[in-house]
C-alpha cells in the first residue's frame, strides 16, 4: 500500500539537489532508466528466446505516483535524464500520465525506448505529454526476417510507429539495431538509408551477453570495427563526431552528411564514464546492467520512510558503486551466456527485459 509519509507526486520544482552523488570512481549519478513493465509483446531472439518466462507479481509493480516519488529522490542526487523502457513500455496503460508527471519536474531529458508495435496510436499523446526523444528498436527491414527474430509479424506496425513519431515532432528520433553475424549484418547499409528516409539516426549495437541472452555466442557478435568497415565500404569514410561523453554510443558522420552511432558494449565497453542506473518496474535499483543484485527501494517507499531518507539511501548506494560489468565480461577467460535459463527463472530481475535495456 502506498503511504503518504513519502509525499509529492507532483512538485513543480525539482527537489533540492544535494551535491550530485559520485560513485567510487567519481562517476556522477545523472541518468536513470525506468522499466515501467516487465512484459513484452515480442520475443526477440537476443533478449527473450525462451518459451516461458516468470513475471513480476502485479502487486509489486510501482504505481506512477510511486515512480514519481522515487524520481524526486533520484533528482535530489543529481539525476537529470530519464529514459522509460521495459519490457515494452507502451504496454503500460496511460503512459502519457507518467510522462506528464515527469515533465513537471523540469528534467533535462525524458526519452523512451520502444519496439514501436503500439507507437503509431500513441506517438502524438506521448509528445503532447512532454516526451522529448524516442528510440525505436528495429533489427531488420525484411518482414520474414523480422518475424523470425521477434516471433511476430509486426513490422508494418513498427514502421507505422516510426513514421508517426517523425510526424509528432520529437526532438530526436533514433533507431536501435542489434547486429548479429549471419543474421542481419547484411542490412546495416540499408538501415542507414531507411533512417535517412524517416529522419532517424541509426545506432548499431553489438550483440551483448546480458542476462536473458541465453543464445549468446561470441561468434555471433558483429563488432564495431566490422560495422564501420561495412558502412565505409559502401558510403565512404566516416568521421568520428566528438567524444562519447557519458553517452553509450559513439557518433559518426558519413560523407553524405548522415550520422550514425555504434554502441560497442561487447568489444570495447565504456564503463569508465557510465552515469546510468536502472529501476525495475517493481522498484529494485540496479547500479549496472550486469549487476547480480539490486537495492530494494520499493520496501522503504511503501513503508513510508521520509523523502529525505529515501534520497539518502540512493546517495549511499551510489557512493559504494564499483560496477564495471561490461569491462569484466571482456576480461572473462571464457565468454558465454551470462545466465542459463534456470538461473533466470530463479530471479527474473536478471533478465534484460525486466531490468530495462
Point out which residues bind ligand SF4 (CB under 6 A): 40, 42-44, 47-48, 86-88, 115, 137, 269-271, 274, 276, 288-290, 323-326, 353
Q: Which residue carries 523480422 as its cell?
A: 146
Question: Taking CB within 5 to 8 Å according to partner kind, which of ligand SAM, ligand SF4, none is near residue 221?
Answer: none
Nearer to ligand SAM by C-beta: 40 or 307? Answer: 40
Binding flag, residue 200, ligand SAM (CB under 6 A): no
Comparing every residue's Cβ against ligand SAM, the nearest one is 357
- DSSP-derived secondary structure letter, 22: B
Nearer to ligand SF4 by C-beta: 137 or 184? Answer: 137
List, in sequence order, the alpha helices (H) in the chain: 64-75, 95-103, 119-129, 143-150, 155-168, 188-198, 224-235, 298-303, 307-319, 325-331, 341-346, 352-355
Using CB atoms within 10 Å of the CB of residue 166, give its burial: 0 to 12 exposed, 13 to 18 middle, 19+ buried. middle
Binding flag, residue 137, ligand SAM (CB under 6 A): yes
Binding flag, residue 205, ligand SAM (CB under 6 A): yes
Binding mask 28-57 for ligand SAM (x = CB under 6 A): ------------x-----xx----------
Q: How far is the CB of 341 from ligand SF4 (least distance, A)?
A: 15
By CB under 6 A, the count of residues binding ligand SAM is: 20
The neighbour count for residue 149, using CB atoms within 10 Å, is: 22
Instruction: Supply angle C-alpha 47, 231, 262, rounded to 5.
Output: 45
Distance of CA 226 to the CA centre of its chain: 24
Task: Please state, in angstroms and rounded to a whole number, the distance separating the CA atoms of residues 318 and 343.
Answer: 26
Binding flag, residue 176, ligand SAM (CB under 6 A): yes
Q: How far is the CB of 65 from ligand SF4 (least distance, A)?
A: 25
Binding flag, residue 207, ligand SAM (CB under 6 A): yes
Nearer to ligand SAM by C-beta: 178 or 314? Answer: 178
The three-class DSSP label of residue 318 is helix
Contact yes or no for 164/54 (Cβ under 8 A): no
Question: Taking CB within 5 to 8 Å according to partner kind, which of ligand SAM, ligand SF4, none is near residue 114?
Answer: ligand SAM
In Å, how far are 69, 80, 149, 299, 307 from 304, measured between CA atoms? 11, 24, 44, 9, 8
Contact yes or no for 43/150 (Cβ under 8 A): yes
C-alpha cell at 162: 516510426
Question: Taking CB within 5 to 8 Å according to partner kind, which of ligand SF4, ligand SAM, none is near residue 276?
Answer: ligand SF4
Nearer to ligand SF4 by C-beta: 232 or 246? Answer: 246
Question: Taking CB within 5 to 8 Å according to partner kind, which of ligand SAM, ligand SF4, none is near residue 205?
Answer: ligand SAM
Binding residues for ligand SAM, per CB under 6 A?
40, 46-47, 85-86, 88, 113-115, 137, 176, 178, 205, 207-208, 210, 213, 352-353, 357
Amino acid at each position: 500500500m502506498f503511504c503518504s509519509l513519502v509525499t509529492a507526486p507532483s512538485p513543480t520544482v525539482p527537489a533540492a539537489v544535494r551535491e550530485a552523488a559520485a560513485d567510487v570512481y567519481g562517476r556522477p549519478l545523472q541518468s536513470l532508466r525506468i522499466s515501467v513493465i516487465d512484459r513484452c509483446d515480442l520475443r526477440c531472439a537476443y533478449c527473450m528466446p525462451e518459451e516461458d518466462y516468470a513475471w513480476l507479481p502485479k502487486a509489486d509493480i510501482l504505481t506512477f505516483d510511486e515512480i514519481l516519488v522515487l524520481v524526486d529522490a533520484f533528482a535530489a542526487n543529481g539525476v537529470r535524464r530519464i529514459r522509460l523502457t521495459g519490457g515494452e513500455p507502451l504496454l503500460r496503460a496511460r503512459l502519457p500520465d507518467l510522462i506528464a508527471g515527469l515533465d513537471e519536474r523540469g528534467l533535462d531529458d525524458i526519452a523512451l525506448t520502444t519496439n514501436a508495435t503500439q507507437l503509431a496510436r500513441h506517438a502524438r499523446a506521448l509528445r503532447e505529454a512532454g516526451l522529448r526523444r524516442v528510440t525505436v528498436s528495429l533489427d531488420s527491414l525484411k518482414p520474414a526476417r523480422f518475424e523470425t527474430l521477434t516471433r511476430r509479424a509486426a513490422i508494418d506496425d513498427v514502421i507505422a510507429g516510426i513514421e508517426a513519431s517523425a510526424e509528432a515532432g520529437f526532438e530526436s528520433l533514433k533507431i536501435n539495431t542489434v547486429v548479429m553475424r549471419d543474421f542481419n549484418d547484411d542490412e546495416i547499409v540499408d538501415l542507414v538509408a531507411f533512417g535517412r528516409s524517416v529522419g532517424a539516426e541509426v545506432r548499431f549495437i553489438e550483440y551483448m551477453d546480458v542476462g536473458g541472452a541465453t543464445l549468446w555466442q561470441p561468434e555471433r557478435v558483429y563488432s564495431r570495427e566490422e560495422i564501420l568497415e561495412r558502412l565505409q565500404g559502401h558510403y565512404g569514410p566516416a568521421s568520428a563526431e566528438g567524444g562519447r561523453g557519458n553517452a553509450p554510443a559513439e557518433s559518426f558522420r558519413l560523407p553524405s552528411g548522415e550520422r550514425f552511432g555504434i554502441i560497442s558494449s561487447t568489444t570495447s565497453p565504456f564503463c569508465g564514464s557510465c552515469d546510468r542506473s536502472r529501476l525495475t518496474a517493481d522498484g529494485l535499483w540496479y547500479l549496472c546492467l550486469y549487476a547480480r543484485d539490486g537495492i530494494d527501494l520499493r520496501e522503504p517507499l511503501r513503508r513510508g520512510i521520509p523523502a529525505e531518507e529515501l534520497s539518502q539511501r540512493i546517495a549511499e548506494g551510489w557512493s559504494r558503486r564499483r560496477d564495471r560489468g561490461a569491462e569484466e565480461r571482456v576480461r572473462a577467460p571464457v565468454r558465454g551466456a551470462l545466465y542459463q535459463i534456470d538461473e533466470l527463472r530463479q530471479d527474473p530481475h536478471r533478465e534484460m527485459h525486466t531490468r530495462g535495456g
